[in-house]
A and B are shown apart, each in its own frame.
Chain A
């Protein structure tokens, strides 16, 4: 394992794993406490449409996927604020239509032969330096938003009706959380793929929630736990020559099972 660290792609994989784990830990906490898990799943799958478009027009994949995911997030935000009771229908719709757009545009791309499976299940061993910059900038933005607006985001997440009464712009923060979630989903695609991203956003958070007394500690702990799972998952996938994204998720799920057994025993 140690000799593997001299390879650049392994170094990139480790850095990407840590950056994305912390972004996923923080944003995953917000998604879980705001009950937006299904919503994040919709955005993740819809972003496949952006990947298809980017491939067709020859744009960078991250750019296409980000724009498309943010677009889906804005659409969902405006729909949620207007027709709350029908939101699950709209999410399902955006989920499927986004994927369909992606599939069709990849069909239309002449002579295209790159393995699309890597977007569905992750390709952490193929992280480029530009990818790392993108991940680093996103984590910095998330950290900035969370330190600057922690109180408002806490108030909106805990009791949005009361927050509105005290003059917090609920709509703005709700949309902001969704946009950050969309971008986090996009960077997580590199690590675990868009199908598995939901597990990365929820499993560490679920464990952290049980152990935390505040939203801040939940976010921090989620980041640490996600990092641990990612690194162990990577080691597992390297040692047994298995798909990295799926390894990370299964390591997370097994740990969650173990945690619940021990926690219940307390």
Chain B
């Protein structure tokens, strides 16, 4: 079952096209990595999926409806979680924001909402920090809180924009392990620069640079046969392979060009 369907999508802010003829189908319980150069249109595509930008040409469906109709099914973790750290707010209040806009009790927070927020914190292993000030946490801990906030509304899809860009290596690994765990019940889409790490966890990869090339990488040994297990992939090699044009819908057999390139080496 596909959860997100994007067909013939093109988008531009002004005259220059940011995205051109994008086709993408995200299946239920996929772990999709979206990679590509800066300015290649990754964030724009996310904004379109989240209904923050309206698509002018082509269609986007989230669970077969327009994105803004199904916002409650998508959990979103924005890019910069290190801004506004002076803000006087407790961890639990940040997580409770996941509920904002739903029917509130007149004053304060409902008991069920608090229970639900504590549950989300427990899912990311942060429940003992519920009463801490958000600014007192480390970057990795804060990122977990943001994931909990997204989980608070029980989404079917979790979208993360550069979740590890400001976290140390140990923290990055922990975040990805957490995502892997969550992936058992939620579809996950991650935009990331750390391609060598993300591709160890993802089962699908989409490279975006105005156009999109899509790859099924669930069988890593077959896809990246020159490497041993656990070894990081060479990023240059990967980018060349994943970014190669003209294989929008390619599967393993479609990799012939890349294989040739690899053999020539």
Contacts and interface: CB of A to CB of B under 8 A. Distances in A.
Interface of A: 33, 147-148, 150-152, 154-155, 157-159, 161-168, 209, 212-215, 217-218
Interface of B: 50, 52, 71, 76, 78, 84, 86-90, 93-94, 96-102, 104, 106-109, 131, 133, 149, 153
- Chief secondary structure at chain B's binding surface: loop
A164 B76 CA distance: 12
Given A151-B104, A152-B100, A165 B71 contact: yes
Given A159-B78, A213-B88, A166 B93 contact: no
Contacts of A209: 86, 88
B128 to A, nearest CB: 16
Contact of B71 (A154, A167, A212, A217): A167
Contacts of A152: 100
In the complex, the 6 A-B pairs of residues with the closest C-beta atoms, listed nearest first: A167-B101, A166-B101, A212-B88, A155-B100, A166-B100, A218-B88
A16 to B, nearest CB: 28
A158 B94 contact: yes
Give the dominant DSSP class at A's interface.
helix
B101 A168 contact: yes
A209 B86 CA distance: 8
Contacts of B50: 165
Given A151-B104, A165-B76, A214 B93 contact: yes
Given A158-B84, A161-B78, A214-B89, 5 more contacts: A150-B108, A151-B100, A158-B94, A162-B78, A164-B52
Contact of A155 (B84, B86, B97): B97
Nearest to B84: A158
Contacts of B71: 165-167
Contacts of B84: 158-159
Contacts of A154: 89, 93, 97
A177 to B, nearest CB: 15
Contacts of A164: 52
B93 A163 contact: no
A233 B249 CA distance: 73
Contact of B97 (A162, A213, A218): A162
A152 B101 CA distance: 8
A163 B89 contact: no
22 contacts: A33-B87, A33-B88, A150-B107, A151-B96, A151-B97, A152-B100, A158-B87, A158-B89, A158-B94, A162-B76, A163-B100, A166-B97, A166-B99, A167-B101, A167-B102, A213-B88, A213-B90, A213-B133, A214-B88, A214-B89, A215-B87, A217-B88
B98 A166 contact: yes
B31 to A, nearest CB: 22
A151 B96 CA distance: 9
A158 to B, nearest CB: 6
B88 A159 contact: no
B168 to A, nearest CB: 23
A212 B108 CA distance: 18
Contacts of A157: 87
